[in-house]
Structures are given as C-alpha cells and as structure tokens.
Amino acid sequence: MKQNVTIKLDKDLIKRGRVIASKRETSLNRLLSDFLRQIVEEEDFYEQCKRKAFNILNKGYSFGGKITYTRDELHER
C-alpha cells in the first residue's frame, strides 16, 4: 500500500534534486523513495547481522582440548 507524505525542503535543494533525477531519467519522488528504501534495507540488514553475531557470541566456540589445571594453580604466588 502506498501513501503520500508531505515534506518541506529548501527550494534550491528541490531544484538541484530535480536536475539529478532528470539526469537519472527518473522523478524526484522516485529518487527520494529509492534512497529511503535503500536506507531502510541497510538498517534491516545491519540489525539482522547484529542479531546473528550476538547469537554466535552467546553460543560460544569450542576449540577442543581440556583444561587440566585449576585457576589457583595458574596463579600460584
């Protein structure tokens, strides 16, 4: 579902945006929409990667081997 949004932008920014959109053979509306979509997708991807990384860290790693000493033995004075 699409919905209109009203935003206020500086007139010079709008003019320059229209020039850029024209060079890319698109509309200013499409240019802004694509840019916002890209930001949202990047944020979603970042959050997904962050969740995966935390899950891996919480699970931990097993490097094999066995601990054959106690903490006290390591820190004898």
| Band (76; pLDDT cuts 50, 70, 90) | confident
What would the pLDDT profile of 32-59 be if each residue is shown by its tens digit? 999 999 999 999 999 999 999 999 999 9
pTM summary value: 0.69
Nearest to 4 by CA among 27, 26, 29: 29
Mean pLDDT confidence for 17-44: 97
- Domain spans, the chain: 11-74
Please answer whether residues 28 and 17 qualify as being in contact, where contact means their C-beta atoms are separated by less than 8 angstroms. yes
Q: Nearest CA to 20 among 10, 9, 3, 32? A: 32
Tell me how far CA of residue 51 lies from CA of 2, 31, 39, 45, 47, in angstroms: 30, 31, 18, 10, 6
Nearest to 20 by CA among 3, 4, 34: 34
